[in-house]
Amino acid sequence: MLNKTGSLFLQTALYLANLNPKIEHTNFFNRTEAIHRSADDIVINTIYNVEKGTDVAAKCYGELGCYSINPPWTDISRPVSQYPESPEKVKPKYCLYTRHNKHFCQELIYSDSKTIYRSFLVPTHKVYFIAHGFLENADRNWIRKLTAELLANNDVNVITVDWGFGSSPPYTQAVANIRLVGTITALLINTMSTKVGVQPEFCHVIGHSLGAHLAGYVGNILQTKFNRKLGRITGLDPAEPHFSKTDPIVRLDPTDANFVDIIHTDATPFIEGGLGMDEPIGHLDFYPNGGENQPGCDKGMMNYIQQEKNSFIKGIRKFLGCDHVRSLEYFTESVNTQCQFLAVECDSWKNFIAGECFDCDDDNRVCAHLGMNSFHTVQRQKAGLGIIDAPYSRSMVKLFTITQSEAPFCRALYRVTVIISNSTESIEYGGEIGLFAIELKGVNGDTGFINLFREQHFVPGSKHRQVVAGINVGRIKTAVLKWEHRMTMNILTWRFGKTLIHLHEVHVDTIDEPRQRIRLCTYNYVEPVYSSVPVNLHNCNDMPKNEI
């Protein structure tokens, strides 16, 4: 994201990351004073102390445990670490929402079981926890929307984890505070389990950014303190700074729940403007659009400022956070969509786009649905298995998919192979430089034109393959292919008459159900495709024998 717009925006991002929204409307000098004052009051540990061998005492908060800032909590990847602030300062709030109270909070307190007894909590129903990130609180539109989607999907319990008093700057303090919030959340789950019978295996913690690592602490404390294990954690673009390349105990990892799924949407290195982690840290790690730059997040800073009614601060935050926020937008959409949101295991985005990983029937490859239904891999669906009630068998599986640039984001995946003819006419004419686009037509509609490949030299006999995304048209019947000639400074690309290319055929594979593999041809099998003239393609198997 920011690597395209320069280091000025990176500096702006770092500055804004240390703005407390509660003091946003004060002047610059007052804000700066408040930031420094909050940092001066806190004991910190540094990599300098670690290298000297200094042993820093742990800080304890009674039944909430003791918190060390010795290694691995301080190391080269997190050169400054702090103690969590006191429970009275952080004071996380837990609001229960059910179908009986969709719009008003029933506060749950781990140390007061009456708040649980008197609530609408249904112990036999699934429990979803939603945890926000840095500079946020639970009164965010995305949390309200996700809560509504979860309640619309099923009769469940939704609990929002509001740690807004602990999410203020400096960032290192917020990083420390999620350790305390993770412990309190684990204590609440244990109280719910011992007092009313909620099963931790049926609890699902959904965390965005710092909230993703908070979820990891919940799972870890449940295991180490109560010998219980969470059913599932979903990490929505887990925060990179102070977590990347750290010891697993410091961050979210696959041991924190029976099933851990991650959606990476802003995995560009932090120094280049990314906020999320790149390395896989779950059982299934999804990288939509490669996991770095999301389509639709390149509209320009002024566009976002205008969207926020000309508020520079809000506009720049939205601009800088667009990729980071897409993870929660994808997940929220996945809760109730009929679209499959299918992703495919592959070793790299490059190989996925090139169509090297496009077979869900391969027993060694995982295909799974990004988002809400990701625990239902295609293989598990075939086996008729449902909720994860035991540790997932593999970990750090990288999966890729493609989304639309705006909601609804989910799209079907197609692998398109264009084969250039090696006929005598094609060889005599020679290759051409240009661009292809295809429109797929099926029983449920058409995709509109989808660009294929990069501009390149298409030579006789060559094959070109790419995975693209479009609306799910169902069973494909026909297609329209368009080719545009391009001239370069190379005199060999110049043409003074009609430009054309000799097409052999086009293959299209689908991965969404129902699966299909179709060969498409022109009516006249040897007719050339002229630049800027769309050509209709039909199923080769339906063509008269003498035409193919």
The DSSP line for 316-377 is HHHHHHHHHHHHHHHHHHHTT-SS--EEEE-S-HHHHHTTSS--TT-TTS-EEESSTTTTS-
Which of the 8 DSSP states describes residue 75?
B
> pLDDT category, 428, cuts 50, 70, 90?
confident
pLDDT at res. 500: 86
Beta-bridge partner residues of 485: 434
pLDDT given at position 48: 83
Within 197-282, residue ranges assigned H as helices are 210-226
Of residues 499 and 315, which shows the higher confidence score? 499
The single residue of 162, 237, 261, 266 carrying the catalytic annotation is: 237
pLDDT-derived band at 298 (thresholds 50, 70, 90) equals confident
Any alpha helices (H) in 26-163, and if so which ranges?
28-40, 47-52, 87-90, 114-117, 141-153
In angstroms, the CA 109 to CA 92 distance is 10
**Angle, CA of 300, 305 and 308, to the nearest 5°:** 135
Residue-wise pLDDT for 55-71, tens only, equals: 889 999 999 999 999 99
User: What is the Cα–Cα distance from 475 to 442, expressed in whole angstroms?
Assistant: 5
The active-site residue, picked from 204, 208, 264, 324, is 324
Give the pTM.
0.88
Judge whether residue 7 has pLDDT over 80.
no
Q: Give phi and psi for 412, each to the nearest 5.
A: -80, 155
pLDDT surpassing 60 at residue 83: yes
Q: Which of 263, 257, 258, 260 is nearest to 278 (CA)?
A: 263
pLDDT band at 12 (very low <50, low <70, confident <90, very high): very low
Is residue 135 predicted with pLDDT exceeding 50?
yes
Compute the C-alpha angle 359/362/365, nearest 5°.
85
In three-state secondary structure terms, 493 is helix
The domains found in the chain, sorted by start residue, are 23-42+83-401 (3.40.50.1820), 412-547 (2.60.60.20)
531 is catalytic: no
- Summarised one tens digit per residue, pLDDT across range 192-221 is 999 999 999 999 999 999 999 999 999 999
Instruction: Specify whether 261 is catalytic.
Output: no
